[in-house]
Amino acid sequence: MDIKVIAFDADDTLFINEPYFEETQEAFCVLMEDYLSHSRLEQELFTNQIANLPLYGYGIKAYILSMIETSIKVSEGTVSMKHITKILDLGKELLQKPIELIEGVEETLAALHGKYKLVVATKGDLKDQQRKLHDSGLGHYFHHIEVMADKEAINYQKLLQRLDIQPQELMMIGNSLKSDVLPVLEVGGYACHVPFHTTWAHERIDHEVSHPNFKALTDIRQVLDLF
């Protein structure tokens, strides 16, 4: 391996994220439970989010807009303005959640810092991701943050171009096989998977990954054994 840049996913790799979305989704379902069951609401919201992805992209603002749209749709326009206000509030709360580091992250970064160029490679709201990295106190370990519109092979191609490196000089570490591993292997890079206990439905894949450039880990600290 001739790795120059190690890229870390942020949400649920460096700090917890999905549990906060799940909390917000639960609050949304409680708010709207007069109209539909929780499971149907979750399904409607998910369908709406995916339909809006091409226009809105990822991140909390897109999520807020999809919650508002879903609330109007499932209530057939009869939801009250108090509900809309509450959804806006839920979104603002989600944008201000505390940062909780995942175990082992800081010692892993401290050990790699200075030996490799470390970057954050994440999708979502630019503003929100920068806020979270800042609040995490991890900012000084990283050369910079790359906020990506999506994490498909084409986006990693662009990342390699921006970083001016060859594919085999990149290692990506993250909790999503779909976003952090498969497209990186596709463009010729190295990838490590560190699973988190919960994964958004959109990020799940249903097959095993086996590839010479791939390593499945159970703890982020195991990255250090590779170098």
Residues that bind a copy of itself (CB under 8 A): 55-58, 61-62, 64-65, 68-69, 72, 77-79, 81-82, 84-85, 88, 91-92, 95-96, 125-128, 130, 143-144, 147-149, 158, 161-162
Task: Give the shortest CB-130-to-a copy of itself separation in angstroms.
Answer: 5
Q: Toward a copy of itself, which CB reaches closer, 32 or 192? A: 32
Minimum gap (Å) between residue 208 Cβ and a copy of itself: 31
Based on CB atoms, which residue is closest to a copy of itself, 17 or 220?
Answer: 17
Tokens of 11: 């949400």
How far apart are the C-alpha atoms of 196 and 22, rounded to whole Å?
14
Question: Residue written as tokens 């010729």?
Answer: 188
Please tell me the distance from the alpha carbon of residue 117 to that of residue 16, in angstroms, as a whole number.
Answer: 23
Residue 79 or residue 182: which is nearer to a copy of itself going by CB?
79
> Residue 224: what are its φ and ψ, rounded to 5°?
-65, -30
Residue 48 gets the label, from left (phi > 0), alpha (psi -120 to 50) or beta, of: alpha
Shortest distance, CB of residue 108 to a copy of itself, whole angstroms?
22
Residues in a beta bridge with 144: 119
With contact defined as beta carbons under 8 Å apart, do 183 and 152 qualify? yes
Smallest distance, Å, CB 25 to a copy of itself? 18
Between 62 and 217, name the residue whose CB sits nearer to a copy of itself: 62
